[in-house]
Amino acid sequence: MIDVLVIGGGNAALCAALMAREAGASVLLLEAAPREWRGGNSGHTRNLRCMHAAPQDVLMDAYPEEEFWQDLLKVTGGQTNEHLARLVIRASSTCRDWMRQHGVRFQPPLSGTLSLSRTNAFFMGGGKALVNAYYRSAEKLGVQIRYESPVDRLDIQDGQFKAAYVGGERIEARTCVLAAGGFESNRGWLREAWGQNADGEWPADNFLIRGTRFNQGVLIRHMTEQGADMIGDPTQSHCVAIDARAPLYDGGIVTRIDCVSLGVVVNNQAQRFYDEGEDFWPKRYAIWGRLVAQQPGQMAYSIIDAKAVGRFMPPVFPGVKADSLPELAQKLGLEPAAFMQTLNSYNAACRVGSFDHTVLDDCHTEGVTPAKTHWARPLDTAPFYGYALKPGITFTYLGLKVNDQAAVHFKGQPSDNLFVAGEMMAGNVLGKGYTAGVGMSIGTAFGRIAGTQAAKAAMKAAKNLEKQRAAA
Amino acid sequence: MQQLETLTREARALANGGVVPGTAEAEVARQLQICNACRYCEGFCAVFPAMTRRLEFGQADIHYLANLCHNCGACLHACQYAPPHEFGVNVPQAMARVRLQTYADFAWPPALGRLYQRNGLTLSLAVAGALAFFLLLTLVLTDKLFRVPTEVNFYTLFPHQLLVALFAPVFLYAVLALALGVRRFWREVTPGTGAPGAAVGEAVHDALRLKYLDGGHGEGCNNADDGWTLWRRRFHHATFYGFLLCFAATSVATLYHYLAGWAAPYDLPSVPKLLGVVGGIALLVGTAGLFWLNLRRHPQHGDAAQKPMDRGFIALLFFTSLTGLALWLARGTAGMPATLAAHLGVVMALFLTLPYGKFAHGIFRSAALLKWAIEKRLPSKLKLGDE
């Protein structure tokens, strides 16, 4: 019998498989996706948030535990577990040597990401390169890997894992690590979670999924039915405003639109609906998904003029370009009169001081609602550009409750041999909100813990079995 | 009417230095637009940092970036948008297609750029023609292909003056054609900038060390799969430096001949012989290794249509070395005249095709590396908020 069965094929699953194998356990990893789509959302990531006391290879200055914790506390609004969060934070300071041993390489922060150079270690080549390195290392160490093997249910008896089912096939193992991602790719579930709005729309029908199509949440639902203790709000998800032309799945990082704070954003009624200049974009991009989701048709349009070109990360698709604002409205399918009324009143309300995109400057509006509190300059220089926006779901927060040994719980009792890591339990640490790279910190820390604990439990079970046999 | 519109659009694009839709350049521009919004690959090589200095990719930018790309494969394996993703990003392949086109477009004289289109055929014809020429010449000059020469001196077979008269013009032509080609390329991609000494030094260093085959982490590039290997770099080094040593052997021998009055053949431990033997063996090992790697290359790397050009050039270098070393062994035997004819034929074919084959990659890539070394020293014109 296999010692450790790992269900999932992303960062957390691979960390668990590698740790368990290193501890001497036999390991089988089941990845739902075919080989070319392996790795789940990890393939779209690019860095890991790391605590460090002093400059370390690619990391500048220091990022102490307390500061990391305060950052996490702030973004989650307190919806976190301090004990588990600090466990993740401390683990993030020591995991990188182990990652390097398994072939992960780091690089200095990418251009356009200077704000992360102190806190985040970037993977050379991004998350897919990391996933490739882990798979190579796992194969070399003798981890068995099966692709296109989605698990649809588990055999659990009295809180003990017995076997997993891939279709009709029953796969037994001494212990099991669940690391199969969230449910964000399950459109039916998103529809149900978001429900219907006052206009009778099903907002989630217009959402795009930024990551893998394979995170269907089959095991999250199954574990709920099995009576596992759950955590997190199913209606919450990390949601970003992305280019409406993005593919339904796997659009990843390139579909973001980073020019919101340089112009105005209107909905499909050509009305502005939120302060575009409230704060620096890296601090605000994550609220715009929800803002757009609340607009009619779940659509919005980011409008800039020529002054903004070259001041934001280039978007993947060219913007709709026009030589005049009415022409732009027409090209975007907005009602030109309403659009011009919005733009004219915005332009007239701009109080331009000294524009500086690197500080919270004094360019603001007066007498227009909503106000734009920084970087407010009239849109008056042709050519004008418009980008249609839709909400893009990055991940969901609903998951399984764990302790510091990554054990799945049933009615408050930890399971002896069933563990969970990655997105399926990230909600313990990240009840809401997000800060760059923390998903990979959680996945790496808990993946490694789950792998270690699963190997330990498997060895213990094997030893007990031997004792029983010797006694008989 | 449709056609006229297309033509008008293309003409306008060309006039603006833009790319014509549907071309290999347009595909690179499309992919770089995606890459520029992602940038995960910045650590691998110079292509991506050079890309981030631009928001739009015109004809000249694409020609430059395509030649800066070493086809190492790292960005393909790391790419979240690589096939089967609908974005279909395969930068090494898109770049390889443009690269071939630049060799052809910048070839001098332009009409001969066509020789790149079926380069395997070009090389085969060059070899066959040059071999036949020297075999016939041997027959004409000595009556027999196989006989033990009276002296161990091949100038008794081919007078020195004749060899100089045959090879010197061809070699000088090759140098001229390559120089004129790369000059045109340089003028397109680098309008009116000087090259500071430090930039030249860095470009030379990067070219001679094959810096961008080290994967950015020093552990090598990709070949058969997503794992890294240093063997592409090592075999290329053996090939390149082997070739240089052979060239040095010939140059030293020329100096011996004209300045010192010492006539060939030179024996061990003479300088030309030492250089030639070491270089020849390195070239043999390097090209054999590159060929083996080429056979095992991941099918999505580069442009499969260019394999005849790549392998043809590798084979030509291999046989240059093989016949050269064989000639040493055949000296004083009945096989010498034929071996000599074969060696001269292969070398002649190599020289003839230098400006119209894979050799050009070294020249154009060095120029691109120089442009990058210059460009990276200039402040970026972009202000992307977060920097």
The DSSP secondary structure of B271-328, one letter per residue, reads HHHHHHHHHHHHHHHHHHHHHHHHHHS-TTSS-GGGHHHHHHHHHHHHHHHHHHHHHH
Mean pLDDT for B104-119 is: 92
What torsion do the CA atoms of B39, B44, B45, B50 make, to the nearest 10 degrees? Answer: 10
Compute φ and ψ for A29, nearest 5 degrees. Answer: -110, 130
Q: Using an 8 Å Cβ cutoff, are A357 and A374 in contact?
A: no
Pair (B152, B294) in one structural domain: yes
Show Cβ contacts of residue B140 under 8 Å, excluding neighbours closer than 6 positions: none
User: CB–CB of A107 and B42 under 8 A?
Assistant: yes
Judgement on whether residues B52 and B172 belong to the same structural domain of the protein: no
> Is residue A212 a part of any domain in this protein?
no
Same domain (yes/no): A412, A358: no
Closest Cα in chain B to A358: B385
Helix (H) or strand (E) holding B228: strand B228-229
Burial of A428 (0-12, 13-18, 19+ CB in 10 A): buried
- Same structural domain for residues B39 and B155? no
Q: How far is CA A74 from CA A80, A281, A285, B291, in A?
A: 10, 17, 16, 58
Amino acid (one-letter) located at A440: M
Q: Are A373 and A278 in contact (CB under 8 A)?
A: yes
How many Cα atoms sit within 13 Å of A409 on the Cβ side? Answer: 16
Whether B172 and B284 map to the same domain: the answer is yes
Q: Which of A374, A392, A410 is the last residue of a domain?
A: A392
My answer on whether A413 and A378 are in the same domain is: no
Average pLDDT over every residue of B315-333: 92
| Closest residue by Cα to residue A138 from A294, A233, A21, A255 | A21
> Nearest-CA distance from A9 to chain B in Å?
15
pLDDT confidence band for B13 (50 / 70 / 90): low
**Which one of B42, B77, B86 has the shortest CB-CB distance to A110?**
B42
Residue B111 belongs to some domain of the structure:
no
* Per-residue confidence band for B29, with pLDDT thresholds at 50, 70 and 90: very high
Q: For A316, which residue in chain B has the nearest alpha carbon?
A: B34
Check whether B383 has a pLDDT greater than 80.
no
Query: How many whole angstroms separate alpha carbon B312 and alpha carbon B323?
Result: 16
B105 CB burial (10 A radius; 0-12, 13-18, 19+): middle
User: What residues of chain A lie within 8 A of the CB of B42, using their CB?
Assistant: 107, 110-111
A49 and A143 within one domain? yes
- Residue A206 touches partner B, C-beta closer than 8 Å: no
Residues B175 and B246 reside in one and the same domain: yes
Tell me how far apart the alpha carbons of residues A201 and B305 are, in angstroms, rounded to a whole number. Answer: 52
- Residue in the structure block whose two tokens are 């084979």: B315
Are the beta carbons of B383 and A313 separated by less than 8 Å?
Answer: no
Give residue for tokens 């394996």: B77
The chain B residue lying nearest A114, using CA atoms, is B387
Nearest CA in chain B to A375: B385
B124 in the same domain as B147: yes
From A471's Cα to the closest Cα of chain B, the distance in A is 49
Question: Do A135 and A60 sit in the same domain of this protein?
Answer: yes
Q: Does B126 share its domain with B49?
A: no
**CA-based nearest residue in chain A for residue B54:** A310
Tell if the CB–CB gap between B39 and A112 is shorter than 8 Å: yes
Question: Alpha-carbon distance A102 to B343, whole Å?
Answer: 49
CB nearest to A310's CB, from B39, B55, B84: B55
A350 and A403 within one domain: no
Q: Which stretch of DSSP H or E encloses residue B229?
A: strand B228-229
> What is the extent of the structural domain holding A270?
239-392
Task: Give Cβ neighbours of residue A25 (< 8 Å, ≥ 6 apart).
Answer: A3, A4, A454, A455, A458, A459
Q: Is residue A194 part of a domain?
A: no
The residue from A392, A411, A438 where one domain ends is A392
Please tell me which of the candidates A115, A125, A315 has its beta carbon nearest to residue B40: A125
- Number of separate domains in chain A: 2
d(Cα A245, Cα A264) in Å, to the nearest integer? 19
Asked whether residue B384 is domain-assigned, the answer is no
Band of residue B386 on the pLDDT scale cut at 50, 70, 90: very low
**Any idea what the CATH number is for the domain that residue A51 is in?**
3.50.50.60
As a whole number of angstroms, the distance between CA A77 and CA A445 comes to: 22
Distance CA A18, CA B178 (A): 52
Domain match, A244 and A229 both = no
Q: What pLDDT does residue B6 have?
A: 61
Main-chain phi, psi angles of A63, to 5 degrees: -140, 90
- Same domain for A437 and A310: no
Asked if residue B286 is part of any domain, the answer here is: yes
A310 and A444 share one domain: no
3-state class (DSSP) for residue B193: coil
Strand partners, A2: A173
Lowest mean pLDDT among A78-82, B9-13, B142-146, B301-305: B9-13
One domain, residues A175 and A274:
no
Domain presence at residue B366 = no
- pLDDT score at B338: 87
- The CATH number of the domain holding residue A296 is 3.90.700.10
The reply to whether A89 and A223 lie within a common domain is yes
Cβ-Cβ contacts under 8 Å between A and B: the total is 117
| Domains: count for chain B | 2
Amino acid (one-letter) located at B158: F
DSSP state of B111: G
Rounded distance between C-alpha atoms, residue B349 and residue B343, angstroms: 10
Q: Tell me which of A85 and B125 has the higher pLDDT.
A: A85
For residues A107 and A253, state if they share a domain.
Answer: no
Same domain, B72 and B158: no
Average pLDDT of chain B? 90
In a domain, A201, yes or no: no
ipTM of the complex: 0.94
Question: How many alpha carbons fall within 13 Å on the CB side of residue A388?
Answer: 16
Q: Tell me what the mean pLDDT of segment B262-278 comes to.
A: 88
Half-sphere exposure of B232 (CA within 13 A, CB side): 26
Asked if B88 and B121 sit in the same domain, the reply is no
Query: Comparing B365 with A435, which gets the higher pLDDT?
Result: B365
- A82 within domain boundaries: yes
Q: Could you tell me if B25 and B62 are in contact, meaning their C-beta atoms sit under 8 angstroms apart?
A: yes
A401: closest CA of chain B, how far (Å)? 31
Q: What is the DSSP letter of B202?
A: H
Q: Looking at the structure, tell me whether residues B288 and B234 fall in a common domain.
A: yes
- The last residue of a domain, from among B57, B84, B106: B106
C-beta atoms of A111 and B43 within 8 A? no
pLDDT at B5: 65
The half-sphere exposure of A446 on its side-chain side, counting CA atoms within 13 A, is: 33
- pLDDT value at B160 more than 90: no
As a whole number, mean pLDDT of residues B231-257 equals 95
- Locate B262 and state its tokens: 């010492």
Residue B68 has pLDDT above 80, yes or no: yes
Q: How far is Cα B221 from Cα B210, in angstroms, rounded to an integer?
A: 11
- For residue A189, is it within any domain? no
Question: pLDDT tens string for chain A (472 positions)?
Answer: 999 999 999 999 999 999 999 999 999 999 999 999 999 999 999 999 999 999 998 999 999 999 999 999 999 999 999 999 999 999 999 999 999 999 999 998 887 777 788 999 999 999 999 999 999 999 999 999 999 999 999 999 999 999 999 999 999 999 999 999 999 999 999 999 999 999 999 999 999 999 999 999 999 999 999 999 999 988 888 899 999 999 999 999 999 999 999 999 999 999 999 999 999 988 888 889 999 999 999 999 999 999 999 889 889 999 999 999 999 999 999 999 999 999 999 999 999 999 999 899 999 999 999 999 999 999 999 999 999 999 999 999 999 999 999 999 999 999 999 999 999 999 999 998 888 899 999 999 999 999 999 999 999 999 998 999 988 7
A192 within domain boundaries: no
* B152 pLDDT more than 70: no
The residue written with tokens 């990659």 in the block is B361
Kindly indicate the confidence band of residue B284, based on its pLDDT and cuts at 50, 70 and 90.
Answer: very high
Instruction: With beta carbons under 8 A apart, name residues in chain B contacting A107.
Output: 42-43, 216
Contacts of A440 (CB under 8 A, 6+ apart): A11, A42, A45, A47, A48, A49, A127
Tokens of A110: 């990418």
Higher-confidence residue of A208 and B151: namely A208
Give chain A as a 3 state SS string.
CEEEEEECCCHHHHHHHHHHHHCCCCEEEECCCCHHHCCHHHHHCCEEECCECCCECCECCCECHHHHHHHHHHHHCCCCCHHHHHHHHHHHCCHHHHHHHCCCCEECCCCCCHHHCCCEEEECCCHHHHHHHHHHHHHHHCCEEECCCCCCEEEEECCEEEEEEECCEEEEEEEEEECCCCCCCCHHHHHHHHCCCCCCCCHHHHCEECCCCCCCCHHHHHHHHCCECEECCCCCEEEEEEECCCCCCCCHHHHECCCHHHCEEEECCCCECCCCCCCCHHHHHHHHHHHHHCCHHHCEEEEECHHHCCCCCCCCCCCEEECCHHHHHHHHCCCHHHHHHHHHHHHHHEECCCCCCCCCCCCEECCCCCCCCCCCCCCCCCCEEEEEEEEEEEEECCEECECCCCEEEECCEEEEEEEECHHHCHHHCCCCCCCCCHHHHHHHHHHHHHHHHHHHHHHHHHHHHHHHHHHC
Question: Does residue B383 lie within any of the structural domains?
Answer: no
Q: Which range of residues forms the domain containing residue B33?
A: 2-106
Whether residue B378 is contained in a domain is answered as: no
Q: Are residues A168 and A25 in the same domain?
A: yes
pTM score of the predicted model: 0.94
Residue finishing a domain among A392, A419, A440:
A392
Is A130 within the bounds of a domain?
yes
Report yes or no on A244 lying in a domain: yes
Residues A3, A460 contacting (CB under 8 angstroms)? no
